[in-house]
Every structure is written in structure tokens, then in C-alpha cells.
Copies of this chain bind each other. A is one copy, B any other.
Amino acid sequence: MQIFETQEEVPLIRERLHRVGITNLKTIAKINWKGKLYTFIPTFEITIDVPEEKKGIHMSRLVESITESMGEAVEEEVSKVHTSLEELELSIIERLEGKHRHTRAEVWIRTQLILERETPASKRISLEPYDVEVGVIKEPERLEKVLKVTVIGNTACPHAMANNKGKTHIQRAVAMLEIRTDYDEEIALEDMIDVVEGSFSFPTYTLLKTVDENAVVQGMYKNPKFVEDVAREILHKAKKRFRGKIHVKVISNESIHKHDVIAETWNY
């Protein structure tokens, strides 16, 4: 049977496309991080550019690049795995290079990390979840990565505290730190999470015994912060600690309003 490769035809409308591929693909990924094996079911996006004289791309080759890079890693028995999300992504791009011509390629992974924390008073272990996203972008002359962490914390309003003899409104806040930098720049997602989590009025914990809850409450009142203060502290610490284009966005789910407040800043 003859197979037509419609993708190779010349399209009627000639326009270069920058990003063509697959998105919202959920599959298994494994990372050997600091000597321990971690499993994820992340969401992938993988795209390449298409020149103006080609009608389309062969989507299945993108899927193959992902699955081959992962091996048959559904069970927990893999011996050789990648050591970071960006290293996994680069290996996907390298496989793709043999399969499908392109001049730029991107691989993005969104997933969750669970990190161990110690509670502030009872010193118990608490497992904390964080949303992370990592992208690798390969252009002819450049190999970049984008690292993004989203952390749940809180704000205690200093304005209300000044006007209400120490009483104030407190609420959950969510902060995002994104760094775009050279692929070879060594930045751990865990360090980015530390920067963000340490910039709220106080960190939050999944497990809090009464003595811990008291420590968190006392801590929030000692460290009142506008959403503006949280954004500034994240940017300030991130500039000192990481090299790259830094973007910070903080959203506070106000307890006195039905809407949110936002503070956003960047160093570029």
C-alpha cells in the first residue's frame, strides 16, 4: 500500500510556524535524583518549528522521542535514568534530531515535587507539594532552559496590623518564580522553592500539631507582608542566588475581598 506523506507537501499559504507539536500529553517519567529514583506522571509539551515550504510535521516522531527516552519505565525497575527534568528533556530533543528535521525545538514538563520539611515546633516530618515546570529550548546557536516553581504560602497585611493594634487580615498566597537561563547553569528546583517559601509571612505545612500551629501563627504576626513585599523579597534573593532572566508573580487570595491581589516583577 502506498502511504501519502501529506506533511511533506508545499502548503498553499506560506508562513513559518514557530512551535508545532504535541501538548497535554500525560505519561510516565523517571528521574534518578541524588541517587534516588523518583517517578512522575507529568504533562508534556514538545514542539518544533516548521519552515514555510512544508505543510506539517510527523507528530508520531515526537511521541516516539519521548517514549524511547523514557525506556519501558512503567515499573520501578529501571537502572539507568536521567538525573534531572532538563536532562531528560535534552535527551528527548537529541533523539528527535535524528527523527525529524527542525531548527528549533522545545520540550516542557509540568509536574509536582514532594519535599520533606521539618515542622517548626514539634520537629516532625511534613511532606510538602510544589508545582514545577521545566522547559528546554534549543535554537541553532543557543540552548536554554526555563525553570518555574509555584509555592503556596501566606500574607499577613501590615497596613491592617498598623491600624488595628496588632490585629490584621491573613490569607493564603501563591507565588511563582521563573528563571530563563543557559542550559548549563546549575539551578536546583529545590533551591528556587526555598527562596519562594522563605519569602512569605511564614511557611506553610501539611502536618501541624497545636504547638506547630502556634509557631506558624506567631510567625505570621511577627512578619507582616504585603503581596508587594513577598514579590520584592523573592526577586531580591533570586537575583543574588541565580543567574538568568528572573520573573516573579505573587497572588494573594484576600480574606477580606472576593477578588485577589497581585504583584509582579522581573529583572530584564
- Measured in the bound complex, the distance between the Cα atoms of B13 and A205 in whole Å is 26
Q: Given contacts A22-B261, A259-B22, is CB(A39)–CB(B76) below 8 Å? A: yes
A22-47 CB contact bits vs B (8 Å, 1 = yes)?
A: 11111110000000111111000101
Q: Which residues of B contact A257 (CB under 8 A)?
A: 204-206, 208
- Measured in the bound complex, the distance between the Cα atoms of B171 and A39 in whole Å is 32
Q: Is the interface of A mostly helix, strand, loop or mixed?
A: mixed
Whether a CB of chain B sits under 8 angstroms from the CB of A143 is no
Picked from B16, B55, B126, B265, the residue with its CB within 8 Å of the CB of A17 is B265
Contact indicator B21/A164 (Cβ below 8 Å): no
Contact indicator B17/A254 (Cβ below 8 Å): no
| Chain B min CB distance to A179 (Å) | 16
A162-174 CB contact bits vs B (8 Å, 1 = yes)?
A: 1110111111100
Q: Which residues of B contact A163 (CB under 8 A)?
A: 3-4, 210, 213-214
Which among A16, A36, A111, A127 has the greatest number of chain B C-beta atoms within 10 A?
A127
Q: Which residues of B contact A59 (CB under 8 A)?
A: 261
Q: Given contacts A18-B265, A36-B75, A56-B228, is CB(A204)–CB(B258) below 8 Å? A: yes
* New contact pairs (7) apart from A13-B229, A40-B41, A208-B257, CB-CB < 8 Å: A6-B158, A11-B232, A14-B232, A18-B265, A20-B261, A67-B206, A204-B256
Please give the residue numbers on chain A whose beta carbons come within 8 Å of chain B beta carbons, in ascending order: 3-7, 11, 13-28, 36-41, 45, 47, 50, 55-57, 59-60, 63-64, 67, 72, 74-77, 111-112, 114, 116, 125-129, 152, 154, 158-160, 162-164, 166-172, 202, 204-211, 213-214, 216-218, 220-221, 226-229, 231-233, 235-236, 251, 253-266
